[in-house]
Chains A and B, each alone.
Chain A
Amino acid sequence: DIQMTQSPSTLSASVGDRVTITCRASQSISSWLAWYQQKPGKAPKLLIYKASSLDSGVPSRFSGGGSGTEFTLTISSLQPDDFATYYCQQYDSYPYTFGQGTKLEI
Chain B
Amino acid sequence: QVQLQESGPGLVKPSETLSLTCTVSGDSITGYYWSWIRQPPGKGLEWIGYIYYTGSTNYNPSLKSRVTISLDTSKNQFSLKLSSVTAADTAIYYCARNLYYESWFDPWGQGTLVTVSS
Contacts and interface: CB of A to CB of B under 8 A. Distances in A.
Q: Do A and B come from one complex?
A: yes
Interface of A: 1, 32, 34, 36, 42-46, 49, 55, 87, 89, 91-101
Contact of B94 (A43, A91, A96): A43
For the complex of A and B, list the 4 residue pairs with the smallest distance between their C-beta atoms, beginning with the closest: A34-B104, A43-B108, A46-B106, A96-B47
Given A43-B94, A43-B109, A91 B44 contact: no
Contact of B44 (A46, A93, A94, A101): A101
B105 interface: yes
Nearest to A44: B108
Contacts of A96: 35, 47
Given A43-B110, A49-B106, A93-B102, 12 more contacts: A1-B61, A34-B104, A36-B105, A44-B45, A44-B94, A46-B106, A87-B44, A91-B98, A91-B102, A92-B102, A100-B44, A101-B44
Contacts of A93: 102
B111 A32 contact: no
B74 interface: no
Contact of B103 (A1, A36, A91, A97): A91
B20 to A, nearest CB: 14
B24 to A, nearest CB: 15
A76 to B, nearest CB: 22
A97 B35 CA distance: 13
Contact of A46 (B35, B47, B102, B104): B104
Interface string B26-58: 000000000100000000111100000000001
